[in-house]
Chains A and B, each alone.
Chain A
Amino acid sequence: MSFTKPERVINEGDTVILYITINNMHAIEVKSHTTNKHGQKVEYVHQTAYGALKVQSLIGKEYGTKIHLPKGYAFILQMNPELWTMSLPHRTQILYTPDISMILMQLEIQPSSVIIEAGTGSGSLSHYFLRAIYGKGHLYTFDFHESRVDQAREEFQKHGFGNFVTAQHRDVVSDGFTDDLNGKADAIFLDLPAPYKAIDHVVKALKPSGGRFCAFSPCIEQTQETCLQLEKYGFLEIHTIEILQSEHIVREKNIPVMDLSFVKQKREDTESKLPKRDEKRPQLPTRKILTTLNTPIQQGHTGYLTFATFLRI
């Protein structure tokens, strides 16, 4: 139940983030026992760079407090969609916070929204939808890969979203989004190889008053085909964008500062300033600056986001 709302203390069954450093954090499930590779029930001990953590000892601790480890310390953070996206088990390519945030904004997701999504994939995006509609709306999510659907359904349940999501095993291109959903959706999102083949189903499933649509495609050809189909079906406000987020690593640097002015004077007066041939060069004075570096390898592309509005006339 660890995703749905802010919690003060860690409960058994929560999936939490163990934060050691910015580059070393992982998701763990809080439970007293686990099964080892011989199928025996053993106490759950999580190994970290700073030594072993008895996971049971976390129960009842306040989120955000320091946890002492044999050789250092760590913090426990409550799981949320942003941290989940960074740590979830990848079953497919997934979407990340920058694209996802724009998808929610452009689809005009509100707590009361009824949303259709395909394919579910690893459920990265689904968790953001679920946080946004928790308590009022509903997410219908489809994938034609059965075990992905099962795994996602299990995660949604564990994370406390069970009542607000229906995960179904279905090929949405050939079979659509089920007749029950005709005219029900406020927003539809597709992350499939061929979203353009499902536009007729999209039209059927959007509310009589209309709704918003988004397709994500890494490839421009798919995007092109999608736009053509959207136009054919009379969608309005068809709009394709790309978003890249960069992270800037803040660093203090000491920059050596040279003084060359003394070369203009006669040698005698400056003799002492010049290094002797076999002497080590004196250290230059430095100036402290605050700067940022980009990560050495940057995201160059994720995908094209195509948005559109459907209006029934």
Chain B
Amino acid sequence: MDDTIKVGQYIIVQRQNFTKLHKFSALDSTVTLGKEMVELKNIAGQNFFQTFKMKLIASGKKRLHELEICDNATNLKDILTSIESGSDNRNILDDGKSQSLSYEEIINMRQTLSDSKEIIGTIIANSNSFNQKTEFSQEKYIKKKEKKYFEFIQVRKPTLRLLTEIFYRQDPEKALGLRMDSLSQLISYSGVNSMGNYLIYESGSSGLVPAAFLNSMGDHGDARLVHLHPGNFPQMQAVYALNLTDHHLKRCSSVNIYSVLRQYYQGIEENVETLSQTESENEKMDIDESSRKRKLENDDTEDDNKPPKRQNFEEDENNEQQNEVPISDENSSNTLTDREEKKRKWQLDNDEAIRLFKEKFDSLTIVAKEDPFPIVKELLPFIHNGRPVVIFHACKEVLMECYTSLKNHNLLINVRLFSNFMRDYQVLPMRTHPAIQLQGNSGWLLVGYTVNHGITLN
């Protein structure tokens, strides 16, 4: 939490319970929050967690705002509490006026009044029905209005916790249904820390799994990561969002699983051939991915008793947080040297991965859409004996079958299949109870340890 916001970094913009992952790509760039467009230049050099006030500077289809630093300590605490709870409304009272405001009047008011409290207060004061509402629906009404007019935002530093939360809440499928409790246990069981060599196969977790590993490995020890993926490019969104240094990122070699295994068994081939081969093998998946572009933002100021919003397919032209985060800046141009440069990087990653394949790894983790057994079977020879294997899958049946196959082939010991139940609590004096709704799918975890499995390799 101690560093400052810099251009080029990923940031999380929070407005009440609405969070959005965004790349702060240039000083004069903007971020879109619903109908509001916000200029970001004033956040540069400020501390993460800083609160800003949105000040309207132009209105139109999208309203343009600039940001002002809030450093008035007396009411900052109030604001912060309400940034997250949206409940700083207890002082808003109906003053008994009964005339209603027109749409134009409200629009007009938004340009003249600066403070959301004043705006909401005026709207409520002019609502005939407000007084007749029950306390419960009054509160709901205020919350709804407040969500709309709330003018404070906070800029947060992306952390693994926040990213996991944002990904899952926005659309669990975006990370294969890898819920935070399952991810946290996957990290434990895999044994990852700053000291070992780790092998993961990941497809479809938006980079959350390699991000979790890099986060736990840190950048001071000997840890190395080989990140196998099935496509032409790895999904690295969550990895990039952590704003790691280049040195730290270099601990991870992201390589195509077909290409690296082919090179391991058959030596270096013509690169071009290898690439086009993998391309066709994964064409289907890529199409699948791009048809699912959606915004990485979520909003849970929804009413408690409405079913949770499933997916958000809206497109947002100003949104850089879509599934395909560019791998690097060179990606846009496609000159010959660029291609050669990329090919070279790709070859270096493969070479480094193969060096580690020969040394063998200290754990194997699989988080994928595919049936894990054929993958485990091929990768186990590269894992030392007595090491943890962790497999996550969204479907129980797949892991049950995997369990049986692993047992039948005597490949692992201490094999266990887990799922999780997790719920939130409302904790208030005399009003404590579990949340009315909970996230029902934790996904499934299969864990075990490698032993002398009899497959010998040169």
Contacts and interface: CB of A to CB of B under 8 A. Distances in A.
A152 B80 CA distance: 40
A213 interface: no
B216 interface: yes
Contact of B49 (A76, A134, A210, A227): A210
B217 to A, nearest CB: 7
A8 B417 contact: no
A106 interface: yes
B422 interface: yes
Contacts of B432: 220, 223-224
A66 B413 CA distance: 11
Chain A interface size, as a band, is 35 or more
A136 B215 CA distance: 13
Q: Is the interface of A mostly helix, strand, loop or mixed?
A: mixed
B193 A134 contact: yes
B69 interface: no
Interface in A208-244: 209-211, 220, 223-224, 227-228, 234, 236-244
Contact of B217 (A80, A105, A111, A128): A111
A34 interface: no
A98 B420 contact: yes
B161 A105 contact: yes
Given A102-B184, A240-B425, A243-B422, A111 B386 contact: no
A123 interface: no
A209 B47 contact: yes
A310 B180 CA distance: 22
B98 interface: no
A240 to B, nearest CB: 4
Contact of B221 (A135, A211, A239, A291): A135
A237 B159 CA distance: 15
A252 B21 CA distance: 45
B401 A290 contact: yes
A19 interface: yes
Interface stretch (B290-298, B323-331, B447-455): B447-455
A75 B417 contact: no
Contacts of B38: none
Given A64-B387, A97-B185, A242-B425, A105 B220 contact: no
A82 B189 CA distance: 7
Contacts of A306: 427
Contacts of A237: 84
Contact of A22 (B219, B386, B414): B414
B302 to A, nearest CB: 18
Interface in A1-48: 4-6, 8, 19, 22, 25
B429 interface: yes
Interface string A182-194: 0000000000000
B197 to A, nearest CB: 8
Interface in A148-173: none
A313 interface: yes
Interface string B224-235: 000000000000
B218 A227 contact: no
Chain B interface size, as a band, is 35 or more
Given A62-B386, A64-B387, A101 B427 contact: no
A85 to B, nearest CB: 10
A244 B420 contact: yes
B218 A111 contact: yes
Interface in A102-132: 102, 104-106, 108, 110-112, 128, 131-132
Contact of A104 (B164, B188, B396, B401): B188
Contact of A290 (B183, B196, B400): B400
A132 B193 contact: yes
A63 B414 contact: no
A252 to B, nearest CB: 7
Residue in B218, B427, B432 whose Cβ sees the most chain A Cβ within 10 Å = B427
A290 B191 CA distance: 30
A63 B195 contact: no
B2 interface: yes
B138 interface: no
Nearest to A112: B218
B449 A77 contact: yes
A301 to B, nearest CB: 11
Nearest to A76: B386
B119 interface: no
A112 B420 CA distance: 29
22 contacts: A22-B413, A62-B385, A64-B384, A64-B386, A64-B450, A77-B449, A82-B388, A97-B185, A97-B189, A98-B181, A105-B160, A105-B184, A112-B220, A132-B216, A136-B194, A241-B422, A242-B425, A248-B396, A292-B417, A313-B76, A313-B77, A313-B80
Given A65-B386, A236-B81, 5 more contacts: A76-B386, A101-B188, A105-B161, A239-B424, A245-B419
